[in-house]
Amino acid sequence: MTSTSHRALRLLSLLGSRRTWPLRDLAARLAISERTVRRDLDTLRELGYPVTSVRGPDGGYRLGTGYVLPPLLFDHDQALAMAIALQTANTSVFGLQDDTARALATLQQAMPETLRAVMESLRLTKLRNYWEFPAPPIDPAALRTVGTAVRLRHVLVAEFLRLDGTRPAPGDQDFATARRLEPHHLVVWAGRWYLIAYDLEDRHWRVHRVDRLHPRPTTRSFTLRDLPGGDLALFVMSSHDRGDTPAAWQCTGSARLNLPADIVARWAPGGSVVEHLDTNHCRLTLGAWSWAGIAGILATFDTDLTEVHPPDLLDACRQIAHRYAAMTSTELTGPVRP
C-alpha cells in the first residue's frame, strides 16, 4: 500500500497544477478512497499548505496563493515524462542537444535515488531521420520495464502484440510464444521506439518495436555482447524486419525494388515496410498524401521498379514520366522563337 508521505507528495503535486480538483477525481488519480483523500488534505494543511475548498457544482479542492512547493517535486510518472521529453527534444535547433543533456543531468542530480533510477532507466539513443511521422502511443509501464531492463542488464520475457495493441489469444498460430530477450539498447528513430536485443531462443540479434511488445521483467542478469558491426545506428536503420507497419495515409502503395532490403530500409520513410525478397531485391510498402507523392519517393531510390501496386500508383508513375519526358524534350529543342 502506498505510504502516507508518498500519497501526500503525489496529492501536493496534483494540487500544484493550479486547477480545482473534485474529490472523486483526486481519489481516482491516487487510487484511494475519498475518506483517505480528506485525511491527506488535512495532513497538508497541518504542514502549512493552504488547501482551500471550492463550493458549487464545479467545486473541489485547490492550493491557495502564497505556497511554496518542495524543489523538484516529481512522482514516477512525471520523472518518466521528463526523461522522455528531454531526450527526444528536437535537435534541429543549434545548441539544443547540449542544453537538454545538461538539463537532464541537473535534474537527475537533484532528485531522490528512486526517481533518478526512473530517469536513468531511459538512457536512449535518438537517430536522425528526415521522415518523422506520428507513431502509435506506448504504454508507459512497458517503456519503464524495457528501460529498466536495459539499465540493469536483466533478461526480458516479451510477448508480441497485435497491430491494435492487444495480446494474442492463447493458441493463436499467427503469433510466436513469449521469448527471452537480452535488452541491450533503447533507440528512437523516425518517431518510433525500438529495442535492440539478443534473442536467446534463436541466438540472433533483433530490432523490436517497443509499442508491439508486452514485456515482463526478470532478475536474471546477462553480460553485454558486441553488436554486429559495432555501429548501433547502422544496425537499426539497415534492419528491415523491425516489426514496422505502414502508417495511416490517404494513399498506400508498394513496388518491387532492385535493391537489397537493408539499403532500402535505411532510407525508407518512417512508417513504411520493407520486405526481403532475395539478396538483391525487396518490396517497399509506404504511404503519402497523394499517389504522385509515393511515386516521387520511389524515384529517390534510383533503381528499376516492378510489380507496382495499386493501379492508381502505376498511373501516377506514368504521369510523372510523361511530365519529365516533356520537360526533357523542351530543354533539348529549346523554346520556339518568333
Domains of the chain: 4-63 (1.10.10.10), 76-120 (no CATH), 140-237 (no CATH), 251-331 (3.30.70.250)
- The pTM of this model reads 0.55
Model confidence at 130: pLDDT above 50: no
Please report the pLDDT score of residue 91 as a whole number.
45
Q: Compare 135 and 246 and report the one with higher pLDDT.
A: 246
Computed over every residue of the chain, the mean pLDDT equals: 79
Return all residues near 116 (Cβ < 8 A) that are at least 6 apart.
108
Question: To 10 degrees, the CA torsion angle through 141, 145, 148, 149?
Answer: -170
Query: Is the CB of residue 166 less than 8 Å from the CB of residue 184?
Result: no
Model confidence at 172: pLDDT above 70: no
CA angle 289/293/297 to nearest 5° reads: 130
Provide φ and ψ at 100, rounded to 5°: -65, -35
Angle between helices 96-110 and 76-87 (to 10 degrees): 160
Query: pLDDT confidence of 265, banded at 50, 70, 90?
Result: confident
C-alpha cell at 310: 495499386
Q: Compare 165 and 225 and report the one with higher pLDDT.
A: 225
Of all helices (H) and strands (E), which one includes residue 107? helix 96-110
Return all residues near 69 (Cβ < 8 A) that are at least 6 apart.
12, 13, 16
Model confidence at 281: pLDDT above 90: yes
User: What is the greatest pairwise CA distance in the chain?
Assistant: 94
Model confidence at 309: pLDDT above 70: yes
